[in-house]
């Protein structure tokens, strides 16, 4: 007989496009079940500056969205800024989880904080493993490329999104609203 697990940690990773979109789709589904939701977005610049469609609609739906990124790590001194913001963001996420105030939390681009060494991967994975079966632990969706094997072993589901063809590189197109942001 199958059992219902109280909370799941899901991971969307890989080199293909659509990891954040998949997470936002899961969040919309959770909202349809009256879930209390939050988004912690790492690495990326402030979505309000990018006029991100997912940010605009998720905020309109009353979801808490916190930004813990300053942009690509190879630009300016973003590597240093992103490391500091990742630490602050992870502390905030742990508070959200421990408070049992949310049913569903998206950690967008979180894999980079681990693969780039901004956070200690072993420490994060141990914390998740130690807490994910506790009462009040929310469903978590993690996104990003290069997911460390240690994270993959701790989560409940992994979907790898593989790029086969991409209009930005193959057709030399510019990023477009509704598609990239």
160 pLDDT band, cuts 50/70/90, is very high
Q: What confidence score (pLDDT) does residue 175 get?
A: 86
From 37, 36, 34, select the one nearest 23 (Cα to Cα). 37
For residue 89, the SS3 value is helix
Domain assignment present for 180 = no
84 pLDDT band, cuts 50/70/90, is very high
Q: Is the pLDDT of residue 34 over 90?
A: yes
Q: Which domain holds residue 117?
A: 9-170
Domain assignment present for 67 = yes
Q: Is the pLDDT of residue 156 over 90?
A: yes
Domain assignment present for 3 = no
Give the tokens for residue 47: 């979505």
Domain assignment present for 181 = no
Domain assignment present for 124 = yes
* pLDDT per position as a tens digit, 118-146: 999 999 999 999 999 999 999 999 999 99
Domain assignment present for 2 = no
Mean pLDDT of the chain: 93
On whether the CB atoms of residues 143 and 13 are closer than 8 A, the answer is yes
77 pLDDT band, cuts 50/70/90, is confident
Q: Is the pLDDT of residue 46 over 90?
A: no
Domain assignment present for 4 = no
What CATH number has the domain bearing residue 99?
3.40.50.300
Q: What is the total count of domains within the chain? A: 1
Q: Is the pLDDT of residue 45 over 90?
A: no
Domain assignment present for 176 = no
pTM attached to this predicted model: 0.93
Show Cβ contacts of residue 162 under 8 Å, excluding neighbours closer than 6 positions.
14, 15, 16
On whether the CB atoms of residues 69 and 44 are closer than 8 A, the answer is yes
């Amino acid at each position: 007989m199958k059992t219902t697990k109280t909370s799941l940690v899901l991971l969307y990773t890989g080199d293909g496009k659509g990891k954040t979109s998949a997470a936002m789709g899961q969040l919309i589904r959770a909202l349809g079940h009256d879930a209390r939701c939050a988004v912690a977005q790492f690495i990326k610049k402030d979505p309000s500056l990018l006029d991100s469609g997912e940010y605009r609609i998720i905020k309109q739906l009353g979801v808490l969205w916190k930004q813990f990124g300053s942009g690509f790590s190879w630009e300016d001194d973003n590597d240093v800024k992103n490391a500091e913001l990742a630490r602050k963001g992870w502390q905030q996420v742990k508070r959200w989880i421990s408070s049992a105030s949310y049913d569903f939390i998206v950690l967008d681009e979180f894999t980079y904080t681990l693969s780039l060494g901004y956070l200690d991967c072993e420490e994060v994975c141990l914390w998740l493993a130690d807490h994910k079966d506790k009462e009040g632990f929310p469903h978590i969706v993690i996104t990003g490329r290069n997911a460390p094997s240690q994270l993959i072993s701790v989560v409940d589901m992994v979907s790898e999104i593989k790029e086969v063809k991409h209009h930005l590189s193959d057709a030399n197109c510019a990023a477009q609203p509704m598609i990239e942001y």
